[in-house]
Amino acid sequence: MGQGGAPIATRHTRIVERALTRLKLRQLRLLIAVGQHGSIQNAAQDLNISQPAATKMIQDLEHDFEVKLFDRTNRGVVPTVFGDSLIRHGKLIFAQVSNAAQELDDLNEGNSGRVVVGTLLAASPALIPLTVERLLKDRPKVAVKIVERTNEVLMPALLSGEVDMVVGRLPSHRHRENITQERFFDERTVAIVGPGHPLAQARDVSFDQLRAYGWILPPVETTLRRQADQFFVRQGGYVPETTIESVSYLANRSLLRTHDFIGLMPAHVPALDIENGLLAQIDWPPPFGVGAVGVSHRGESSLSPAGRAFLDALRDTAAGLGGEAPVGSAHA
């Protein structure tokens, strides 16, 4: 039963009917702005409407959806759980409108659709480039945008519709609600140094031999960093003398080649540079860091034709990489 004793199905139907006949994009813009500003007055000024009109628009939304969207505090207004949910859906609606406009513009310019791909470090060296190459053979006019960030940035962008999918190590705990995950293969972590590092050619390296060196590590919000920190704690509370946080492979490669740092990264990432002698893998297998590499998206129905084509190419490419057991792969 719903609020007031009405059957849930009847209440749902009533709310949907109101939304289809009464909801305006201007109301959603205001809703999102109020959430951002924490103030109806500031949101109204931002959208160039009067505060009474803004207050009435929020009240109309609350009436139509039959929920309270904001709580008043001494500092302004704070979204309720219902407000947070509707704001998230509102952002997704605007992202879809923007994507539709972009896709129409691409088609008008002669492109065959557009896809925005978020990528993590584990996917950028091989999986993403090979997928783009495969896609463009069949659809040479597709516009592809690649955004490299961490999961902490990409997953909210995925939920809001700013990116179509995220390719890389799959989040194991957080960022899984309302997201479809597809696992392609497992990948281990390796310890990497420059070719001139004192331990580059050493065999059967122990962790004690690594203690004296600085480390290049992923940011603290990543799973790999948490695993590394937990491992360091178990090694007598080890704290590296120097720690550099970075997800920039170009910067990390340069630092490893010019300093005696040790870097931790997924095995695929430095494979080509190791093969060409630009970097070296230490003979010390980290006892942590194995992770599933795959793709996260909001469901295939949310993807444009170009997005679905990219996803199909991604699956084919990942199957090839897994089958060939590339350098450093857990399949090796």
Q: Do residues 12 and 160 both lie within one domain?
A: no
Mean pLDDT of 32-43: 93
DSSP structural state of residue 47:
T
Q: Do residues 59 and 206 both lie within one domain?
A: no
Residue 327 has pLDDT above 60, yes or no: no
The amino acid that residue 176 corresponds to is R
Q: Are the C-beta atoms of 179 and 296 separated by less than 8 Å?
A: yes
Q: Do residues 10 and 84 both lie within one domain?
A: yes
Confirm whether 173 is domain-assigned. yes
Residue 324 has pLDDT above 50, yes or no: no
Mean pLDDT of 62-66: 92
Q: Do residues 195 and 266 both lie within one domain?
A: yes
DSSP states of 82-95 as a string?
HHHHHHHHHHHHHH
Confidence at residue 8, expressed as pLDDT on a 0 to 100 scale = 54
Confidence at residue 105, expressed as pLDDT on a 0 to 100 scale = 74
Residue 119: closest CA among 226, 249, 243, 216: 249
Per-residue pLDDT tens digits for 232-279: 999 999 999 999 999 888 999 999 999 999 999 988 889 889 999 999
Q: Which domain holds residue 26?
A: 3-89
Q: For the whole prediction, is pTM greater than 0.85?
A: no
Residue 302 CA from chain centroid, whole number: 16
Q: Do residues 195 and 285 both lie within one domain?
A: yes
Q: Do residues 243 and 193 both lie within one domain?
A: yes
Confirm whether 329 is domain-assigned. no
**Number of domains comprising the chain:** 3
Q: How far is CA 309 from CA 3, 138, 315, in A?
A: 44, 9, 10
Residue 3 has pLDDT above 60, yes or no: no
88-97, 108-117, 119-128, 194-203: range with highest mean pLDDT: 194-203
Dihedral of the alpha carbons of 255, 192, 228, 176, in degrees to the nearest 10: 90
The CATH number of residue 246's host domain is: 3.40.190.10
Q: Do residues 28 and 171 both lie within one domain?
A: no
* Helices within 115-222 (DSSP H only): 127-138, 151-159
Confidence at residue 124, expressed as pLDDT on a 0 to 100 scale = 66
Confirm whether 18 is domain-assigned. yes
Query: Measured between alpha carbons, how far is 154 from 16 in angstroms, rounded to an integer?
Result: 30
Q: Do residues 126 and 68 both lie within one domain?
A: no
Confirm whether 84 is domain-assigned. yes
Q: Of 89, 119, 137, which marks where a domain is finished?
A: 89
Q: How far is CA 275 from CA 126, 256, 269, 272, in A?
A: 14, 16, 12, 5
Read off the pLDDT band of 40 (50, 70, 90): very high
Mean pLDDT of 59-74: 92
